[in-house]
């Protein structure tokens, strides 16, 4: 795919997401790009403002979104540059200069004590203006980001370097070219390239710890604490992408111990701390003196608490790191094996605060199953046409684009007819849909990534999936569950458009949408009914009666979000992240329209559907199990039988089934026997069985 083709596809996707409403397309683009920045680890959550002043006699200023990360004391302000054009435009030096000047002007204006006071209290930018004014001493760095659907001109040699408002300032451009490289790479995030050549000695001393052509390239090294803190400052949680634990801000005994050692006994840190397990996709070394020079895509797989603690102790406690050293085991993993190998390293090396590592990765059975449904299950046309479509679940980044890469023009047209762009959804999208109806809008308001993976205080989608998967053996997640999830997506997207059109709308759309859906779900439960998600799936749109009810709810919700209680916070976005906000919304009385009851089902019918879904999944699992056993073939099962002769781990019943499998195709295990054999094989794998 060329960048021009990508531009055409991207434009169509933005139009599809906005319902082809031109005044909504820039907002959709802004939200999409901010979610991308969050996924990339550039920002942690975001607030939309879409503030602009161009009146005569005043300095032109604008800011469309912002994010503040208190851990790094970094404020990010964002401006969107969206072009409605049939062809890809160039982003020139002049346009970049004007855009960044508008952002700088806003920051400098916000430092004026009178600026925030002159704004309407309901204006979403008020929170940002007050933050800049009141927290200017705490903000250690400012990041200005320009988002554009144009391509950075080759004549742009460098970005501005001056400071805005006296803050240390970093400038970044996310143009269509950069997005194209990210989307077409198929990787979860943009590459991280790190060089250690400027360190004293020209690199980090390392000890090769591998032998033979087939062994994974690995190294042992000791990294100065100051270097690790600097890496975390520059790349933040991008370094912890594959880590199964989040930094707990010294709440646990482990973190307090790390902090106390750094502050009080830095010379003992190396002895007391277990160090890090890390991975990389490639390294460059100087073999003559065993020095590590460069690392590509460094990931801290075990030791996220250590990494963040060192940085935070140096920043908040002013700890000196010159005596702090960290031991690191670095494994170089081929990019094609990252999803398979890294979760194992992560799971096996983590013994504290243990979490099922697989839940965080795109190859977990849950994601594979939802992907399979999304490619197989057809949805009817909402306008009554004959064209049926799929809701495409992108479990790994770039799948939607990559599946079109080698198609002819006619094949691509057919693919997009069957898989419309506006029906593609990701893991973080799914988290927003599910958590909204799970009545956790405060979790959704934390941001897409935290809604998906959770925080020390919240489960997120991952925690919910893990609990249900373990409890039901995966039967909970069946075809009916998938259809209901898509119905929740339809709810979310229609309410998103509905709120944007409301005459009272003045911002905080993402918060209003999730709270509206959570409130509707709660109201339905209060009268003893359940939402008929399967009816929405069949219709592929919401009944007018429900839309009218959601419109009423959204206005009430907006009023609560826009007016936080005194003494809690003055920031509506922060208010929406608090469970107390959800309690207030849940308690408020809203008249329930009797017309909506016709669109609901009773609890008994809902329960029966749930049972039917589980029963169907059991049958489907047994069919898949028998297919798996047959396709593996007799030779594979003979290897397991030979392994068991030495290790003796299988029961007599399992061994009998295994003997049958060794006779494929003359004899074939039944569907129930196949399920038992796969469980035995998985147990054998945990004990060391490997068939290659």
What stretch of H or E contains 498? helix 479-501
pLDDT in tens, 267-303: 999 998 889 989 999 999 998 888 999 999 898 888 8
Q: Within 41-155, where are the H helices?
A: 93-110, 113-118, 125-134
pLDDT at 198 over 50: yes
pLDDT at 481 over 60: yes
Average the pLDDT over 409-424 and give the result: 89
Q: Are 150 and 229 found together in one domain?
A: no
- CA 420 to chain CA centroid, Å, is 22
Q: Which domain holds residue 139?
A: 3-185
Using alpha carbons, list the distances in angstroms from residue 458 to 337, 453, 596: 31, 9, 32
Q: Are 371 and 450 found together in one domain?
A: yes
Q: Are 376 and 413 found together in one domain?
A: yes
Q: Is residue 503 in some structural domain?
A: yes
Of 189 and 502, the structure prediction assigns the larger pLDDT to 502
Q: How far apart (Å, rounded) are the C-alpha atoms in residues 373 and 367?
A: 10
Average the pLDDT over 84-107 and give the result: 92
pLDDT at position 600 is 87
* Residues of the chain by 3-state class (helix, strand, coil), percent to 5: 55, 15, 35
Confidence category of residue 356, pLDDT binned at 50, 70, 90: very low
What is the DSSP code string of 120-153?
A: -TT-THHHHHHHHHHTTTT--EEEEEEEESSEEP
Q: Is it true that the peptide bond before 665 is cis, omega within 30 degrees of 0?
A: yes
- Is there a contact between 599 and 532 (Cβ–Cβ < 8 Å)? yes
387, HSE (Cβ side, Cα atoms, 13 Å): 10
**Among 234, 121, 5, 90, residue whose Cα is nearest residue 559:** 121
Q: Are 320 and 375 found together in one domain?
A: no
Domain boundary among 185, 207, 235: 185
Instruction: Map residue 511 onto helix, strand or coil.
Output: helix
**Among 13, 36, 145, 150, residue whose Cα is nearest residue 83:** 150
Report the range out of 151-165, 427-441, 625-639 with the highest average pLDDT.
Answer: 427-441
Q: Are 540 and 443 found together in one domain?
A: yes
Q: How far apart (Å, rounded) are the C-alpha atoms in residues 532 and 249?
A: 42
Q: Copy the structure tokens of residue 646.
A: 């030495």
pLDDT at 360 over 60: no
45 Cβ neighbours under 8 A, 6+ residues apart? 38, 67, 446, 447, 450
pLDDT at position 406 is 78
522, HSE (Cβ side, Cα atoms, 13 Å): 22
pLDDT at 59 over 90: no
Of 441 and 159, the structure prediction assigns the larger pLDDT to 441
pTM of the model: 0.71
Domain boundary among 128, 162, 185: 185
pLDDT at position 614 is 66
Average the pLDDT over 249-253 and give the result: 40
Q: Is residue 601 in some structural domain?
A: no
Q: Are 55 and 159 found together in one domain?
A: yes
Q: Are 29 and 177 found together in one domain?
A: yes
DSSP secondary-structure letter at 567?
T
∠ Cα 305 252 443 (to 5°) = 80
pLDDT at 63 over 90: yes
Q: Is residue 124 in some structural domain?
A: yes
Confidence category of residue 491, pLDDT binned at 50, 70, 90: very high
pLDDT in tens, 544-565: 999 999 999 999 999 999 999 8
What stretch of H or E contains 15? helix 3-17
Confidence category of residue 55, pLDDT binned at 50, 70, 90: low
pLDDT in tens, 370-379: 998 999 899 9
Say how many Å lie between the first and final Cα of the chain, rounded: 35
pLDDT at 90 over 90: yes
pLDDT at position 348 is 63
Phi, then psi, of 319 in degrees rounded to 5 = -70, 140
Q: Are 350 and 374 found together in one domain?
A: no
Q: Is residue 25 in some structural domain?
A: yes
Q: How far apart (Å, rounded) are the C-alpha atoms in residues 273 and 258?
A: 8
Q: How far apart (Å, rounded) are the C-alpha atoms in residues 329 and 332?
A: 10
CB atoms within 10 A of CB 587: 9
**Among 9, 40, 295, residue whose Cα is nearest residue 185:** 40
Percent of the chain scoring above 70 in pLDDT: 90
Q: Write down how long the chain is.
A: 692
Among all chains, which residue has been given the structure tokens 């540059």?
81
pLDDT at position 241 is 58
Using alpha carbons, list the distances in angstroms from residue 481 to 370, 579, 609, 624: 9, 27, 10, 18
pLDDT at position 243 is 45
- Is there a contact between 622 and 594 (Cβ–Cβ < 8 Å)? no
**Among 14, 42, 38, residue whose Cα is nearest residue 27:** 14
Q: Are 109 and 224 found together in one domain?
A: no
Confidence category of residue 321, pLDDT binned at 50, 70, 90: very high
Q: Are 336 and 379 found together in one domain?
A: no
Domain boundary among 355, 381, 416: 355
Q: Is residue 691 in some structural domain?
A: no
Q: How far apart (Å, rounded) are the C-alpha atoms in residues 53 and 63?
A: 10
**Among 513, 497, 491, residue whose Cα is nearest residue 445:** 513
Q: Is residue 598 in some structural domain?
A: no
Q: Is residue 361 in some structural domain?
A: no
Average the pLDDT over 519-538 and give the result: 92
Q: Are 266 and 349 found together in one domain?
A: yes
Using alpha carbons, list the distances in angstroms from residue 645 to 52, 629, 641, 648: 74, 20, 6, 6
Confidence category of residue 252, pLDDT binned at 50, 70, 90: very low
Q: How far apart (Å, rounded) are the C-alpha atoms in residues 456 and 304?
A: 14
Q: Is residue 20 in some structural domain?
A: yes
Instruction: Map residue 203 onto helix, strand or coil.
Output: coil
What stretch of H or E contains 277? strand 276-280
Q: Copy the structure tokens of residue 322.
A: 């010159």
pLDDT at position 246 is 38
Q: Are 348 and 370 found together in one domain?
A: no
Of 603 and 393, the structure prediction assigns the larger pLDDT to 393
Of 523 and 316, the structure prediction assigns the larger pLDDT to 523
Average the pLDDT over 150-155 and give the result: 91
pLDDT at position 184 is 74
What integer best gives the mean pLDDT of the chain?
85
Average the pLDDT over 650-657 and give the result: 91
Average the pLDDT over 650-665 and give the result: 91
Domain count, the chain: 4
pLDDT at 143 over 50: yes
Average the pLDDT over 89-104 and give the result: 93
Contacts of the segment 264-272: beta carbons below 8 A, 24+ positions apart: 266/225, 266/319, 266/320, 266/321, 266/322, 266/323, 266/324, 267/323, 269/225, 269/323, 269/324, 269/325, 269/326, 270/222, 270/324, 270/325, 270/326, 270/327
Q: How far apart (Å, rounded) are the C-alpha atoms in residues 421 and 392?
A: 8
Number of helices and strands in the chain (H, E): 27, 19
């Amino acid at each position: 795919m060329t960048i021009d083709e990508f531009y055409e596809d991207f434009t169509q996707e933005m139009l599809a997401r906005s319902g082809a409403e031109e005044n909504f397309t820039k907002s959709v683009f802004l939200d999409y790009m901010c979610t991308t920045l969050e996924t990339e680890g550039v920002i942690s959550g975001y607030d939309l403002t879409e503030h602009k002043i161009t009146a005569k006699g005043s300095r032109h200023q604008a800011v469309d979104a912002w994010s503040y990360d208190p851990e790094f004391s970094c404020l990010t302000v964002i401006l969107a540059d969206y072009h409605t054009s049939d062809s890809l435009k160039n982003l020139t030096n002049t346009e970049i200069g004007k855009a960044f000047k508008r952002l700088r002007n806003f920051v400098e204006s916000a430092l004026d004590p009178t600026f925030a006071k002159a704004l309407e209290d309901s204006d979403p930018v008020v929170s940002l203006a007050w933050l800049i004014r009141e927290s200017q001493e705490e903000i250690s760095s400012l990041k200005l980001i320009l988002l554009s659907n144009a391509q950075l001109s080759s004549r742009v040699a460098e970005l501005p370097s001056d400071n805005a408002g006296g803050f240390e300032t970093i400038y970044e451009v996310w143009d269509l070219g950069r997005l194209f490289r990210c989307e077409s790479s198929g990787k979860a995030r943009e590459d991280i390239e790190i060089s250690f050549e400027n360190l004293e000695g020209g690199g980090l001393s390392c000890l090769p710890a591998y032998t033979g052509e087939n062994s994974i390239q690995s190294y042992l090294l000791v990294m100065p604490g100051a270097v690790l803190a600097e890496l975390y400052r520059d790349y933040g949680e991008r370094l912890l992408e594959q880590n199964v634990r989040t930094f707990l801000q010294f709440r646990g005994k482990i973190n307090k111990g790390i902090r106390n050692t750094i502050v009080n006994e830095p010379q003992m840190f190396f002895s007391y701390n277990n160090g890090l397990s890390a991975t990389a996709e490639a390294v460059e070394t100087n073999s003559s003196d065993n020095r590590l020079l460069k690392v590509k895509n460094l990931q801290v797989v075990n030791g996220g608490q250590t990494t963040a603690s060192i940085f935070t102790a140096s920043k908040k406690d002013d700890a000196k790191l010159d005596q702090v050293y960290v031991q690191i085991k670095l494994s170089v993993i081929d990019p094609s094996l990252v999803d398979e190998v890294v979760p194992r390293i992560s799971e096996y090396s983590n013994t504290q605060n243990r979490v099922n590592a697989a839940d965080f990765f795109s190859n977990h059975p849950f994601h594979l199953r939802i992907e399979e449904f999304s490619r197989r299950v057809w949805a009817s046309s909402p306008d009554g046409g004959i064209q049926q479509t799929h809701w495409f679940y992108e479990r790994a980044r770039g799948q939607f684009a990559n599946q079109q890469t080698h198609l002819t023009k006619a094949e691509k047209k057919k693919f997009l007819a069957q898989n419309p762009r506006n029906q593609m959804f990701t893991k973080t999208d799914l988290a927003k849909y599910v958590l909204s109806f799970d009545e956790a809008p405060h979790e959704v308001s934390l941001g897409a990534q935290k809604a998906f993976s959770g925080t020390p205080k919240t489960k997120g989608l991952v925690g919910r999936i893990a609990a249900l998967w373990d409890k039901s053996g995966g039967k909970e997640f069946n075809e009916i569950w998938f259809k209901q999830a898509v119905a929740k997506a339809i709810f979310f997207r229609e309410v998103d458009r509905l709120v944007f059109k409301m005459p009272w709308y003045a911002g905080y759309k993402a918060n209003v949408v999730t709270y509206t859906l959570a409130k509707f779900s709660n109201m339905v439960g209060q009268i003893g009914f359940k939402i008929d998600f399967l009816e929405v799936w069949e219709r592929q749109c919401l009944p007018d009666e429900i839309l009218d009810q959601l419109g009423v709810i959204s206005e009430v919700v907006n009023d609560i979000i826009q007016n936080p209680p005194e003494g809690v916070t003055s920031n509506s976005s922060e208010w929406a992240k608090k469970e107390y906000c959800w309690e207030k919304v849940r308690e408020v009385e809203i008249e329930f329209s009797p017309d909506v009851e016709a669109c609901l089902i009773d609890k008994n019918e809902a329960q029966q559907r749930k049972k039917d879904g589980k029963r169907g999944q059991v049958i489907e699992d047994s069919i898949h199990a028998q297919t798996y056993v047959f396709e593996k073939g007799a030779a594979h099962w003979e290897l397991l039988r030979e392994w068991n002769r030495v290790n003796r781990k299988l029961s007599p019943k399992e061994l009998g089934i295994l003997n049958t499998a060794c006779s494929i195709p003359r004899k074939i295990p039944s569907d129930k026997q196949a399920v038992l054999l796969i469980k035995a094989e998985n147990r054998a794998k945990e004990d060391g069985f490997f068939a290659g």
